[in-house]
Amino acid sequence: MSENELLKKFLKDAFEKGLIEAVMAPAATQDSYTYALITKKEDVDKLTPIAPVMQWNGADMLRRITKLKKAERRMLAILRPCETRTFKELVKFNQINPENIIVLTYDCPGTIHARNYKYDKVPVEELIEEIKKGGKSDKIRDSCKVCEYPAPIPGVGDIALGLVNAKEPVFFSLSDIGKEFLAAMGIQEGSRNADEWIKMHRERREKWLEEERITGGRKGIEEFLSSCLNCHNCKDMCPICFCKECFFEDHSVFDYESSKYFNWADDKDGIRLPTDKTLFHIGRLIHMGTSCIGCGLCQQACPMDIPLYRLFGIVGNDLQKVFDYKPGVNDDIPPVMDFREDELHEFEGLLGGEE
Amino acid sequence: MKEENFDPVIVGFFCNWCTSAAADLAGTARLHYPPNIRPIRVMCSSTVDPVYLIRALQEGADATILGGCHPGDCHYITGNYKARRRVAIVKTVLKSLGFDDTRVLLEWISGSEGPKFARVMNEYTAYIRERGPSDFKYLDSLGGEEIE
């Protein structure tokens, strides 16, 4: 039985036992996959719990569902590990009400760039086959190749499905709710060894962090963003960019009189239009970089194929190092919501707070 | 590229309760500090969104100063701690991308420290004058300084 069939059977059983009243999981469309919310057992067959494409971040969908009120029905959401971490991070930001939501996650086989999938439909079984052997397909997105947490983390999410190095997929719990759920389902908890597999990802990530960094100051960043359309798709797809009113959008800060434009053109020997393209990216980095999960959806959303994850992933990693913070893996408060009285003295003064 | 008579422009965001008062005190005590500083009074150092610092650097400032009360002395109890985190974020982003992170300065200057205010402004202006124009200046324009 394939993994997707197994999960569908699991969902049907859960519906039958009355443990859940709704499910959110990916469902296939003609050329891609979207998230779907179902409330009936008969609809389970319309789902594809493990999809080869991540078009949206599932946590972002949960944010929409619980925006005004907690989930009214007990629902199970099937999320990838990165989406699960996003879920946790958005709970910390008070953007998702986790009440009544059970999260099921799994060893992630990675996802294919949504546009590539449209033209070359790689079945998810092929990706899963690779990770069962402890490897990873090379058709997946760049950000998936260098994923830091490709496997479920205890305490993040509720139920996990282990696939790596396991002949048969194993269920295990990540939280007390998950434990009770599996017990009620009558499923024996198993285990699998994914350490080597995770290590492989981390090694790749270290290499990537070293090699793909954007350096060179002005020249580097201007060249990197030279084909940017200023469409703000990266911001729209980013699950951490949840602000209702964005600093860079519909904001009178960026409305100027025409004389201003002409004066700038005088002073700067010509300006590029639209203005503030690079400022948008650097500003966004400053606002969300400390909580960048690393889902890579910014890069997938870019119509000009700018490898944006190199910008947000690597600078985000630097920022998270400063605050010793890993978004979404534990209950630490995000750096932008917190402060200590005695910290960061190296950023004070000209010589690092030596006075 | 260092110009012969490079005169830096430094934008200062000074908190109303401490650093702005120190600037006043420096003035009334007739202490000299360079005219390169363009002070902007803000109600608290934490009201300055990091993007404003970046924006000032892009629009022609060679450096920016964020001045606030000493830790523990904030008029709004915790504003300066938050400002410190924000400055840490800006500096890290600048450094990560290969820009000069000393172009953003965070200083704690209390209302009674007029001499310190004058000294910091003198020292920082001299430092920036030494370093030359910022390569963040006029980002996204056709002109600007070509700096290796």
C-alpha A58/C-alpha A253 separation (Å) is 32
Query: pLDDT averaged over chain B?
Result: 89
Which residue on chain B is closest to A338 by alpha carbon?
B82
CA A87 to chain centre: 9
Look at residue A87 in the predicted model and tell me its pLDDT.
94
Tokens of residue B77, six digits: 């109890």
CB neighbour list of residue A131: distance below 8 Å, 6 or more residues apart: A107, A108, A109, A110, A163, A164, A197
Rounded to an integer, the average pLDDT of B129-140 is 86
Inter-chain contacts counted by CB atoms under 8 A, chains A and B = 134
DSSP tag of B141: B
Q: Which residues pair with A22 in a beta bridge?
A: A75
A341 has a chain B CB within 8 A of its CB: yes
Residue B4 is predicted with a pLDDT of: 64
- The dihedral through the CA atoms of A226, A229, A230, A236 has a sign that is negative
Mark yes or no for CB contact A217/B138 under 8 Å.
no
CB burial string A304-324: b at 16+ within 10 A, e below: eebbbbbbbbbbbbbbbebbe
Distance from C-alpha of A257 to C-alpha of A278, rounded to nearest angstrom: 21
**How confident is the model at residue B135, as a pLDDT?**
85
Q: Compute the distance between CA of residue A292 and CA of residue A289 in angstroms, rounded to an integer.
A: 5
Give the CA distances from residue A223 to residues A4, A217, A219, A243, in Å, rounded to whole numbers and listed in that order: 43, 10, 6, 29
Return the pLDDT at B3. 54
Q: Give the orientation angle of helix B79-96 with respect to helix A277-288, to 10 degrees.
A: 130
CB-hemisphere CA count at 13 Å for A190? 15
Phi-psi region of A254 (alpha: psi -120 to 50; beta: other; left: phi over 0): alpha
How far apart (Å, rounded) are the C-alpha atoms in residues A320 and A332? 12
pLDDT classification of B148: cutoffs 50, 70, 90: very low
CB B94 within 8 A of CB B101: yes
B106 close to A347: Cβ distance less than 8 angstroms: yes
Give the residue from B92, B123, B148 with the most A CB atoms within 10 Å of its CB, the best one to mutate. B92
Q: Name the residue in chain B with its Cα closest to that of A221.
A: B97
Q: What is the mean pLDDT of residues B20-44?
A: 93
Quick check: A319 contacting B, CB < 8 Å? yes
The model's pTM: 0.91
Which positions 62-121 of A are in contact with B (Cβ < 8 Å)?
none
Which one-letter amino acid corresponds to residue A37?
L
Strands ordered across the beta sheet of A22-28: A33-38, A22-28, A75-78, A101-106, A159-162, A170-173
Which region holds residue A231: left if phi is over 0, alpha if psi is between -120 and 50, else beta? Answer: alpha
User: What residues are paired with A170 via a beta bridge?
Assistant: A162
Inter-chain CB proximity B82 and A343 less than 8 Å: no
Residues of B in contact with A347 (CB under 8 A): 84, 87-88, 91, 106
Element holding A65 (H helix, E strand) = helix A58-65
Burial of A116 (0-12, 13-18, 19+ CB in 10 A): middle
Query: B10-131 has which CATH code?
Result: 3.40.50
Paired with B10 in beta bridges are B37, B63
Closest CA to B138 of B56, B48, B40: B56
Separation of alpha carbons A221 and A302, rounded Å: 16
Question: How do residues B51-67 score in pLDDT, each as one tens digit?
Answer: 999 999 988 899 999 99
DSSP-derived secondary structure for B14-78: EETTTHHHHHHHHHHTT----TTEEEEEES-GGGS-HHHHHHHHHTT-SEEEEEEPPTT--TTSS
Return all residues near A279 (Cβ < 8 A) that are at least 6 apart.
Answer: B51, B54, B55, B58, B139, B140
Q: Tens digit of pLDDT for each residue in A322-349?
A: 999 999 998 999 999 999 888 888 888 8
What is the full per-residue pLDDT of chain A (355 aa) written as tens digits? 788 999 999 999 999 999 999 999 999 999 999 999 999 999 999 999 999 999 999 999 999 999 899 999 999 999 999 999 999 999 999 999 999 999 999 999 999 999 999 999 989 988 988 888 888 888 899 999 999 999 999 999 999 999 888 888 999 999 999 999 999 999 898 888 889 999 999 999 999 999 999 888 888 888 899 999 989 999 999 999 998 888 888 767 778 899 999 998 888 888 888 888 889 999 999 999 999 999 999 999 999 999 999 999 999 999 999 999 999 998 999 999 999 888 888 888 876 544 4
A225 → chain B, closest CA residue: B140
